[in-house]
Amino acid sequence: MSPWYAKLVFFLGVIGMAIVRAPHIKRSTAIKVVKSRNDILDKALVAFVSLGLVLPLVWMTTSAIAIADYALRPIPFAVGIFFFACGLWVLHRSHVDLGTNWSNTLELREGHQLVVQGVYRRIRHPMYVALLLYGLGQSLTLPNFIAGPSFFVPFAILVAFRMRREERMMLEKFGAEYEFYVSRTKRLVPGVW
Ligand code: SAH
């Protein structure tokens, strides 16, 4: 059984994500793509991540995965809400900083600029950090061992496959400028890794 407050947090998260992303998606997709590495692997991984929406809906509307339910406790629930909020905030900041250079996949757009400011100043993948935090939020607030981690796990796999390929694409495009950027930033955790 899915408690109403877990459902409420899930829908607020989905709506929050849509509100943060919609204007940027609209703006950046209007700009021509000049290089794409959107291959079958990346497409398959993006499709895999959509389980993070599908499985919670299955959990809420059927009893198909009710076997994996557990009792929701206040502290993990509160921590989950905190992660959700942090994730949405960093997602908003990274979209603002990346501007029209954003893509849902591995692409370079016309007039692509290397962004090194704002949330990109210390780490190279703040948007992925934001979505991982969002995924942890979902894991802690949906009391079901399948629906809960259904976004975090596929997304972490996508990030593991994508980061190096994305960095290789950026290095080919921006050369020494990107090398210098890499030398003074970390991937996901400021000052650590
Ligand atoms: N990995 C970044 C961006 C995710 S969006 C993050 O997590 O914040 C993916 C697209 O952003 C890539 O296709 C690439 O074209 C673009 N991109 C990644 N890092 C960038 C940067 N520092 N400046 C400009 N564009 C960047």
CA distance 162 to 168: 10
Segment 94-111 shows an average pLDDT of 91
- Whole-structure pTM value: 0.95
Q: Whose CA is nearest to atom 7 of ligand 1?
A: 125
Q: Whose CA is nearest to atom 2 of ligand 1?
A: 125
What confidence category does residue 3 fall into, taking pLDDT thresholds of 50, 70 and 90?
A: confident
Would you list the domain boundaries of the chain? 4-183
Closest C-alpha to 140, from 132, 150, 148: 148
* Complete DSSP assignment for 38-54: --HHHHHHHHHHTHHHH
- Ligand 1 contact via 141 beta carbon (within 6 Å): no
What confidence category does residue 38 fall into, taking pLDDT thresholds of 50, 70 and 90?
A: confident
Give the pLDDT of residue 1: 56
Neighbours of 74 (CB within 10 A): 7
pLDDT digits (tens, 9 = 90+) for 143-167: 999 999 999 999 999 999 999 999 9
From residue 76, alpha-carbon distances to 56, 72, 90, 141 in Å are 18, 8, 21, 7
34 CA to middle of ligand 1, Å? 15
Segment 125-132 shows an average pLDDT of 98
Segment 76-81 shows an average pLDDT of 96
What confidence category does residue 35 fall into, taking pLDDT thresholds of 50, 70 and 90?
A: confident
Q: For residue 186, how far is the Cα from the chain centroid?
A: 17
Q: Whose CA is nearest to atom 9 of ligand 1?
A: 103
Give the pLDDT of residue 149: 97
pLDDT reading at 39 higher than 90: no
Give the pLDDT of residue 25: 87
Average pLDDT, the chain: 94
**Ligand 1, pocket-test mutation among 89, 170, 179, 180, most atoms within 8 A of CB:** 170
2 CA to middle of ligand 1, Å? 36
Segment 116-135 shows an average pLDDT of 97
108 CA to middle of ligand 1, Å? 9
**Ligand 1, pocket-test mutation among 32, 37, 98, 122, most atoms within 8 A of CB:** 98
CA distance 185 to 116: 9
Spatial neighbors of 162 by CB under 8 A, at least 6 apart, are 42, 45, 106, 128
Segment 78-93 shows an average pLDDT of 96
Spatial neighbors of 85 by CB under 8 A, at least 6 apart, are 137
- Ligand 1 contact via 97 beta carbon (within 6 Å): no
Is 4-183 in CATH node 1.20.120.1630? yes
